[in-house]
């Protein structure tokens, strides 16, 4: 499709987005919005999302009220047992068909992602890649992650025990706008495969992407009520989700994550919390500086810097600082910023005027307090209303908001450190602990350093994508960056409760009828000593 000329100021008045993808006809929109669960109230108005490329409204998506959430959960709860009764293979077949449809129709969803949140097309494709990988992985490996675990019985030989996994019931998935496909559906797939029904809360900025995947899942054969999607204002609808589901997987800011955790705790339901970061990248003295500069640029400006694991702090050994800085700045200034529905741009638009404002405020505050702008440092309205130049700052100090507060934009700060210990101290500053990275030719030394960084994932000789793409391993945060993990075994087991089933061939454990308790206790003590001597685990 072709794009309208970039506007120099966001359009604010009524009028449809001029960059709506051609294939998104009114009929097609209606076929997507039918998947919003608004059974009770008939909706409470519509979501007011705007396309970052032209600042005009995207599509009218009905917004629900908390009663709609309750009604959607009832439908999901009623549908869940039949879904859970299917064999894992039957559920996996639906997910594998979804995989194939997603790969085949990827252009559609990339168009929607770009229209709704403005990222570069390559970063939209990375969402497709990640979700397809997760779908295939969990469909193929999920059964082994959830397999029964046989353990020794209380009376070996006479009794047996096993741990089995039962679905939580209805899982709530609350996701943000920055990865509407990956975070909206990537967490849903393992929840469904584990036999749950899912209540997904679409972010008000990006409902269409989630609705598109919901429609695709229906085409792949998912029964109608097993995955409900609700849309509406974050607080009212999000809180109602937490109030009604049996487990909640939340991704978003640390501030909201805390309120979700408190609410879930009151109901004694489990919660996983994937929250914000302030991720450091360390360049050791022995690093390959070309690779390090390339990795930094990719990780700092990916998704226009609106990625939880993107790099905002780069800590460079003093012996190579100037040389690294030169290479970094050369690559940064070569980044092509813009908004096109093809692969022509490296860095896309920010998602909204609010994001742009936040990024501008962080940079202005840093500059006012003495930081130096080495690259970028300004909006690019000539390229699009929410475009911002990839930015490198130097001389950032603790009193600046950008120092330890998440910017969530294409802005990184350079720090100089004399040796690993100082680099480590800077990396571990603050309360976040999501992702980090170390560049070094000595992978062993980098590994030793990685273990001392407070972060849920550490990438060696890559900025961010390596650990996230290693989907058999858990991904999540420490400290203020969250609780729990997605991906790998934990990414599906969290959607189940473990249940212990113990069986006896000899009836109830305890002294047989007629045996004196003293004798039974003496036998028990003898057994304890024997087990200890035999080093039984």
| Binding flag, residue 172, ligand NAD (CB under 6 A) | no
81 near 209, Cβ under 8 Å? no
Say whether 323 is catalytic: no
Q: Which lies closer to ligand NAD via its Cβ, residue 207 or residue 338? A: 207
CA dihedral over 460, 464, 465, 467, signed as positive or negative = positive
| Binding flag, residue 490, ligand NAD (CB under 6 A) | no
Task: Tell me which of 142, 207, 463, 477 binds ligand NAD, using CB under 6 A.
Answer: 477
| Binding flag, residue 479, ligand NAD (CB under 6 A) | no
Residues 6+ apart with CB under 8 A from 329: 374, 375, 392
Q: Which lies closer to ligand NAD via its Cβ, residue 179 or residue 301? A: 179
196 near 168, Cβ under 8 Å? yes
Least Cβ distance, residue 353 to ligand NAD (angstroms): 14
Binding mask 249-288 for ligand NAD (x = CB under 6 A): --xxx--x--xx-------------xxxx-----------
Residues 6+ apart with CB under 8 A from 84: 167, 195, 196
352 near 50, Cβ under 8 Å? yes
Say whether 308 is catalytic: yes
Q: Which of 116, 127, 308, 387 is catalytic?
A: 308
Task: Tell me which of 410, 482, 488, 491 binds ligand NAD, using CB under 6 A.
Answer: 482
Going from the C-alpha of 483 to that of each of 252, 275, 321, the distances in angstroms are 12, 8, 35
Task: Tell me which of 39, 223, 234, 381 binds ligand NAD, using CB under 6 A.
Answer: 234
| Binding flag, residue 64, ligand NAD (CB under 6 A) | no
CA max distance for the chain: 93
Q: Which lies closer to ligand NAD via its Cβ, residue 33 or residue 352? A: 352
Structural tokens at position 308: 């939880």
Q: Which lies closer to ligand NAD via its Cβ, residue 10 or residue 232? A: 232
Q: Which lies closer to ligand NAD via its Cβ, residue 153 or residue 234? A: 234
Structural tokens at position 89: 């293979």
Going from the C-alpha of 24 to that of each of 1, 16, 140, the distances in angstroms are 12, 12, 34
Q: Which of 274, 312, 406, 490 is catalytic?
A: 274
Q: Which lies closer to ligand NAD via its Cβ, residue 36 or residue 331? A: 36
Q: With CB under 6 A as the contact rule, which of the stretches 54-62, 66-74, 168-176, 392-400 interacts with ligand NAD?
A: 168-176
Q: Of 212, 258, 278, 221, whose CA–CA distance to 455 is shortest?
A: 278
Binding mask 290-329 for ligand NAD (x = CB under 6 A): ------------------x---------------------
Task: Tell me which of 24, 72, 174, 193 binds ligand NAD, using CB under 6 A.
Answer: 174
Residues 6+ apart with CB under 8 A from 392: 328, 329, 332, 373, 374, 375, 376, 412, 413, 414
CA dihedral over 432, 472, 125, 186, signed as positive or negative = negative
Q: Which residues pair with 283 in a beta bridge?
A: 316, 439
Q: Which residues bind ligand NAD (CB under 6 A)?
A: 174-179, 183, 201, 203-204, 234-235, 238-239, 251-253, 256, 259-260, 274-277, 308, 406, 408, 434, 477, 482
Provide the annotated active-site residues: 274, 308
């Amino acid at each position: 499709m072709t794009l309208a000329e970039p506007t120099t100021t966001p359009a604010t008045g009524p009028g449809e987005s001029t960059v709506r993808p051609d294939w998104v006809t009114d009929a097609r929109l209606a076929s997507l919005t039918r998947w919003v669960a608004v059974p009770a109230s008939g909706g409470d108005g519509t979501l007011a999302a705007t396309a970052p490329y032209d600042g005009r409204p995207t599509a009218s998506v009905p917004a629900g009220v908390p009663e709609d959430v309750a009604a959607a959960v009832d439908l999901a709860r009623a549908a869940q047992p039949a879904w859970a009764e299917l064999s894992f293979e039957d559920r996996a077949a639906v997910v594998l068909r979804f995989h194939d449809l997603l790969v085949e129709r990827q252009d559609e969803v990339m168009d929607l992602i770009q229209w709704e949140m403005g990222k570069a097309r390559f970063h939209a494709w990375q969402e497709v890649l990640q979700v397809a990988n997760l779908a295939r992985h969990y469909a193929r490996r999920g059964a082994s992650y959830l397999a029964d675990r046989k353990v020794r019985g209380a009376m070996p030989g006479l009794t047996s025990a096993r741990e089995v996994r039962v679905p939580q019931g209805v899982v709530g998935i609350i996701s943000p706008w920055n990865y509407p496909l990956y975070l909206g559906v990537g967490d849903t797939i393992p929840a469904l495969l584990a036999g749950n029904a899912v209540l997904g809360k679409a972010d008000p900025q990006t409902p269409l992407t989630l609705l598109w995947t919901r429609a695709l899942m229906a085409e792949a054969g998912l029964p109608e009520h097993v995955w409900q999607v609700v849309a509406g204002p974050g607080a009212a609808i999000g809180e109602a989700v937490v109030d009604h589901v049996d487990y909640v997987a939340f991704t978003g800011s640390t501030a909201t994550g805390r309120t979700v955790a408190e609410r879930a705790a009151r109901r004694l339901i489990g919660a996983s919390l994937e929250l914000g970061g302030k991720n450091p990248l360390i360049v050791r003295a022995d690093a390959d500086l070309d690779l390090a500069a390339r990795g930094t640029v990719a990780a700092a400006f990916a998704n226009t810097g609106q990625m939880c694991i993107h790099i905002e702090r780069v800590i460079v050994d003093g012996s190579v600082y100037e040389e690294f800085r030169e290479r970094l700045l050369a690559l940064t200034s070569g980044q092509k910023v813009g908004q096109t529905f093809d692969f022509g741009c490296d860095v896309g638009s920010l998602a909204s005027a609010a994001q742009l404002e936040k990024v501008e405020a962080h940079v202005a505050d840093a500059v006012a307090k003495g930081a130096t702008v080495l690259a970028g440092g300004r909006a690019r309205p000539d390229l699009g209303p929410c475009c911002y130049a990839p930015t490198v700052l130097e001389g950032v100090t603790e009193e600046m908001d950008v120092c330890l507060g998440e910017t969530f934009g294409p802005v990184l700060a350079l720090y100089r450190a004399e040796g690993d210990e100082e680099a480590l101290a800077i990396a571990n500053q603050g309360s976040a602990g999501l992702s980090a990275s170390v560049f070094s030719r000595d992978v062993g030394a980098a590994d030793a350093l990685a273990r001392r960084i407070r972060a849920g994932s550490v990438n060696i000789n890559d900025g961010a994508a390596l650990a996230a793409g290693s989907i058999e391993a858990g991904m999540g945060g420490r400290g203020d960056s969250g609780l729990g993990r997605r991906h790998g075994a934990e990414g599906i087991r969290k959607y189940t409760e473990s249940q212990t089933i113990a069986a006896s061939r000899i009836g109830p454990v305890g002294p047989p009828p007629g045996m004196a308790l003293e004798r039974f206790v003496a036998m028990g003590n003898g057994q304890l000593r024997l087990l200890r001597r035999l080093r039984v685990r």
